[in-house]
Amino acid sequence: MKVLRMVLVAIALLLPLAAQAQSLPMVSVQTGPDGAQTWSLSIQILLLMTALTLLPAILLMMTSFTRIIIVLSFMRQAIGSAQTPPNQVLLGLSLFLTAFIMSPVLSRSWNEGVQPYMDGTITQSQALERAVQPFRGFMLAQTRDSDLEMFARIARSGDYASREEVPLQVLVPSFVTSELKTAFQMGFLLFVPFLVIDLVVSSLLMSMGMMMLSPMIISLPFKVMLFVLVDGWSLLIGTLAGSFYV
């Protein structure tokens, strides 16, 4: 233990000397002639790795994924099939449908922010601002004014002259809240026709004196048949894709 402590103390004493000897050029920030600051490659790589860790949160909070996965889950519960379709299928369908819906937003973000930065025509801060603007427009189009007002009041940021002036820290939770409301409204509409089938089957079983038989066993084939006859998958996916304002 004494040897380990001595090694740790030696490392702690040598680290400042090593840092002074190298002067840490890899974390330098250079200022250009026009006043713009350019970060070194190591900082850019660090920021990129940090952004990659935030991708799941960005996928959930700033895209159409939340509404889609919730509505698909409601659909499965309304039919009454516990694990059909399985979670992997619902997640995969939600991801590809999200990519389809968000493709115009992603294309604008790439063309207006990422591509000019890779060409060296704009700085990092300008690239970040331009890349976020398409996502801001998408979220603002789906967000209710009441949710924006609620979170602005919670943040005590005062009133904004227009929706475009709302900062991201207020816009993102407002967008998620609006998406949850919309998803639950669509889920309610999904439940209504299947609930009618459950009520009819339950009434028939009660009138026949078959109270010990679970209505779910009888109603499940009828609900599946109804969903197939009305081409439910096309209607559901088409309605989901058309419910977003891009």
Q: 51 pLDDT exceeds 70?
A: no
pLDDT at 68: 92
Query: Of residues 50 and 61, which shows the higher confidence score?
Result: 61
Q: Is the pLDDT of residue 123 over 70?
A: yes
Helical residues (DSSP H) of 28-86, grouped into ranges: 41-53, 55-61, 65-79
Helix/strand/coil for 113: helix
CA distance 71 to 36: 46
Give pLDDT tens digits for 189-205: 988 888 888 888 888 87
Residues 125-160: pLDDT tens digits?
A: 788 888 888 888 899 888 998 888 888 888 887 777
Q: Is the model's pLDDT at 14 over the cut of 50?
A: no
